[in-house]
Amino acid sequence: MAERIYPGDSPPSSGEHSNPKPAPPSSDKPIPQPGTYVVQIPKDQVYRVPPPENARRYAHLSKPPNYSVESVAIKGFNLTSPSPLSPEFDVTVRADNGNDKIGIYYEKGSSVNVYYQDVNLSNGALPVFYQPTNNVTLFKTALKGSGIELTAASLRSISNDQNKGTVPFTLKLRAPVKIKAGSVKTWKITVKVTCKITVDKLTAASKIVSKDCDYGVDLWRT
């Protein structure tokens, strides 16, 4: 490796005769201050993250995972009571890994949240599991909230929505995963899913009227 190092000057030891130092050669580049080091590395030895040989392993990720909400059972919505709400959502999420070359490890630290307008109603997490290649997994997650106080305007709005049979919610899912390709496993990657779902009523027998999920998997960032 070609390198050029400029160490700081050392003082002469006691008793040594100090010879005059020759003038430094003329150069267009500034000379570093004493105590600094400059190392020059050829361009073909510059490394990046992930290294190219590892990045190529995942270039065949032609089918990213697909996510959707299959069902929602709702409890804890007494809109006529003045007490704070304790809403519960039993959500079934479908994870479709249609790729025949990768498996997915779902790690600890995930989060699932349900919102009405901008109010966070319930929270939960995904189970920890491994999803093999060409696999569809349905997993249920229980989301719970307590002490939720809606404004008078929000209460009127959600009551009107229920009367019309179209109550809109937003589900946000964040899951740290590791992708396995052959015998190699990646660093942690964050799966981010946002689903706009509309249900017909606020009960355990609620049905999904409409749903639209956006999802993404960023291979190079957590």
Report the alpha-carbon distance of residue 127 to residue 55 in Å, rounded.
28
Which residues have C-beta within 8 Å of that of residue 85, sequence separation ≥ 6?
Answer: 76, 77, 78, 121, 145, 148, 149, 150
Please name the residue that has the structure tokens 């519960």: 88
SS3 content of the chain, % helix, strand, coil (to 5): 10, 40, 50
Q: How far apart are CA 184 and CA 178, in angstroms?
A: 10
Q: Does residue 96 contact residue 65 with C-beta atoms inside 8 Å?
A: yes
Q: Which CATH number fits domain 55-217: 2.60.120, 1.10.3470, 1.20.58, 2.60.40?
A: 2.60.40
Tokens of 209: 């009227």
Give every residue of the chain whose pLDDT is below 70, as ranges. 1-62, 217-222
Query: What is the C-alpha R_g of the chain?
Result: 29
**Quick one: DSSP state of residue 148?**
B
Name the residue ranges covered by the structural domains of the chain: 55-217
Give CA 58 to chain center in angstroms.
Answer: 18
Which residues are CB-contacts of 140 (< 8 A; sequence separation ≥ 6)?
90, 91, 92, 93
Q: Which pLDDT value is given to residue 22? A: 55
pLDDT at 62: 52
Q: How far is CA 198 from CA 32, 73, 115, in A?
A: 64, 12, 12
Read off the DSSP letter of residue 58.
Answer: G
Question: How far is residue 32's CA from residue 150's CA, in Å, rounded to a whole number?
Answer: 63
Predicted pLDDT of residue 24: 55
* Strand 208-217 relative to strand 189-199, pairing: antiparallel
**Residue pLDDT, tens place only, 192-220:** 999 999 999 999 999 999 999 998 766 55
Q: What is the pLDDT of residue 26?
A: 53
Q: For residues 222 and 107, what is the distance between their CA atoms, to the nearest angstrom? A: 12
Determine the pLDDT at residue 107.
96
Residue (of 144, 112, 145, 114) closest to 126 by Cα position: 112
In sequence order, the 6+-apart residues with CB closer than 8 A to the CB of 75 are: 87, 88, 90, 203, 204
Q: Looking at the whole model, is its pTM more than 0.75?
A: no
